[in-house]
Structure 1
């Protein structure tokens, strides 16, 4: 139905537009797979890193982790120092889709869980991140997905109608968070499925 066609498309970034894998920064530092898995699940875990996405400064984060594992201080500090190794490339198919939407005059913004400083670094590595109308970065505003507040903040910042906004994220929890905030949302699996999801909603999509 025509009224269901989104007017705004909002992209997540990590694992939607750019690849992200913390293991890539540690394969030479911690060659053993089991030990590296322990480190990235118990020492510098996803939950630990999410606090930087919420705005916690890196020195505070490192101090907290070192207090728990003082024997791993250098490995802990390596997380920030080697962050660039965790984002080795973009996903060309989904980037092409995003740029195609922009070229077709669809309003495109981004909403991401990202530390403020690493997002600045990502902008330098991947200049296409400057192409959308703007971005809400969790570490800048102190709110993270899937909490309702970050979706509402994005709506307010960019003047969006939630019911006419389509959110794209690789995390099902974040997709459900967007839907709970009154948005349309799709779970990102691949550029091919994203192209089909967009076409089903009457939006232009490049072949991936």
Structure 2
């Protein structure tokens, strides 16, 4: 059943969009910090060298699809630790940075199943982690659409990102409610016409969603 909204729109025309890292997905709580906080002990990789040789040199191109993640890692891992393979590294990274917040997931499912709206992941990601999240973390069950920077070609700090997502979703910007833990992304999404909110916890998210007239 299509729940009717103000102005004749239906609930299925409205989109609940969330950032991934920092909103829906977090590092393993067992680490007590970032996903790489124990990488020196576990893999023998110096996190400072990882930041310099990989993230500083390669990441900005990887995250918008100009470089392949596996190829970039293959180029730098021998200098970081010659015995750590690309597969070893990615398995460590994705596993330790893949804890799904079940309360946020429940809000997404509620939006889809009870309210009849659509959901979207809106995220700075590259292709291999997107595939992991879909295959191992149930993203295809949570989301109708996944918008990611490696596919779109720009990150969420660009207004073009949101324009492209609007076009792909086929919605007016005012039909999107978006939650992100980075205030800079929130500001750009607001400029794009979205209802954008700084994510500070699921309870605030629930308060905002409760004000939206979808029953």
Q: TM-score scaled to structure 2, two decimals?
A: 0.76
Aligned equivalents of 1:64, 1:175: Cα separation in 2: 35
User: 1:13 — aligned with what?
Assistant: 20
Runs of 4+ deviating beyond 6 Å = none
Where structure 1 has 5 or more consecutive residues not aligned to the other structure, the ranges are none
1:29 aligned residue (28, 39, 43): 43
Q: Structure 1 residues 99, 46: closer, same or farther in 2, change over 3 A?
A: farther
Alignment length (residue pairs) = 196
1:157 aligned residue (162, 168, 171): 168
Where structure 2 has 5 or more consecutive residues not aligned to the other structure, the ranges are 1-5, 28-33
Aligned equivalents of 2:50, 2:79: Cα separation in 1: 15
CA contact (8 A) 2:44 2:81 kept: no
User: 1:70 — aligned with what?
Assistant: 79
CA contact (8 A) 1:25 1:82 kept: no
Residue range with higher mean Cα deviation, 152-161 or 40-49: 40-49
1:85-127 deviations in Å (ceiling 9; x for gaps)? 2324210111111111111102222211111121111111111
Q: Secondary structure at the match of 1:93?
A: helix
CA contact (8 A) 1:65 1:76 kept: no
User: 2:61 — aligned with what?
Assistant: 51
Aligned equivalents of 1:90, 1:168: Cα separation in 2: 16
Superposition CA RMSD, Å: 3.0
